[in-house]
């Protein structure tokens, strides 16, 4: 019975309030699409980081690992490794700037990966902050219409204004329904991304240290 009453309130709402509700519905569908996509993407990235770091520290010859993955479709931390080792091989002739060049290339790859990780976050933040105001606009408009319709009545009772106010408040409820999951997802993904960036930074420093030792050994050889 409540479901039928809710549907009736929506169907009997003013055109503008119905348009606000429809807009919020589309925003919600888009938001949930981003939430599911980002969740799956970050899960895959976490798995890639764990698997690659395990393989990296298990491999004694980094050139073997580089040749193994350079022609594959690499993501995240793998791109940083491939970019860095490729530059290391290319710059071997100049030992003075070898490590600096390699580090610069890896930093560029790192920034690109951070941009990729943070994509869609701004959209979720926008949905979380704007949706309640869109719903509130629909509510204010609906309440204004309700009181305007009652302007010519001699006696106004609660039963007369309740339906109009109720249908208007649905817009606010929908705005919150859209905003809350987006905000929760944004906070969760931001935390996950911060941890991934820390892993990337740590790996970059450790990898540079390894390459620096290799460059020193090569330089010391007669």
Q: Is the pLDDT of residue 23 over 70?
A: yes
Q: How far is CA 20 from CA 37, 118, 173, in A?
A: 26, 29, 12
Q: Evaluate if pTM is beyond 0.75.
A: yes
What is the predicted pLDDT for the residue at 117? Answer: 93
Q: Is the pLDDT of residue 3 over 50?
A: no
CB-based contact 47:77 (threshold 8 Å): no
Dihedral, CA of residue 147, residue 151, residue 155 and residue 156, to nearest 10: 0
Q: What is the largest CA-CA distance in the chain?
A: 105
Q: In degrees rounded to 5, what are phi and psi of residue 70?
A: -65, -30
What is the predicted pLDDT for the residue at 162? Answer: 60
- What is d(CA 85, CA 74) in angstroms, rounded to the nearest whole number? 14
CB pairs under 8 A, 24+ apart, for 207-211? 207/80, 207/81, 207/84, 207/106, 208/84, 208/99, 208/102, 208/103, 208/106, 210/62, 211/84, 211/85, 211/88, 211/98, 211/99, 211/102
What is the predicted pLDDT for the residue at 4? Answer: 43
Q: Is the pLDDT of residue 114 over 60?
A: yes
The pLDDT tens digits of the residues spanning 154-208 come to 555 555 566 667 777 888 888 999 999 999 999 999 999 999 999 999 999 999 9
Tokens of 198: 């820390």
CB-based contact 209:57 (threshold 8 Å): no
Q: Is the pLDDT of residue 121 over 90?
A: yes
What is the predicted pLDDT for the residue at 102? Answer: 87
């Amino acid at each position: 019975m409540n479901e039928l009453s809710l549907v009736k309130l929506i169907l009997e709402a003013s055109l503008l309030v119905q348009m606000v509700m429809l807009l919020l519905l589309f925003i919600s569908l888009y938001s949930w699409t981003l939430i599911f996509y980002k969740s799956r993407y970050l899960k895959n990235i976490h798995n890639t980081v764990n698997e690659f770091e395990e393989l990296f520290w298990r491999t004694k010859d980094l050139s073997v690992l580089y040749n193994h993955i350079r022609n594959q479709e690499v993501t995240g931390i793998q791109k940083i490794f491939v970019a860095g080792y490729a530059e290391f091989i290319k710059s071997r002739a100049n030992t003075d700037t070898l490590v600096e060049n390699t580090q610069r290339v890896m930093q560029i790859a790192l920034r690109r990966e951070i941009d990729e990780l943070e994509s869609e976050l701004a959209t979720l933040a926008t949905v979380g902050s704007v949706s309640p105001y869109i719903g509130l606009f629909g509510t204010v408009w609906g309440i204004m219409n309700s009181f305007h319709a009652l302007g010519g009545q001699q006696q106004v009772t609660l039963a007369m204004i309740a339906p109009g106010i109720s249908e208007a408040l649905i817009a606010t409820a929908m705005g919150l329904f859209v905003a809350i999951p987006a905000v929760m997802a944004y906070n969760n993904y931001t935390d996950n991304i911060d941890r991934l960036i820390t892993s990337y930074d740590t790996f970059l420093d450790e990898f540079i240290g390894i390459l620096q030792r290799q460059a020193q050994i090569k330089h010391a050889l007669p």
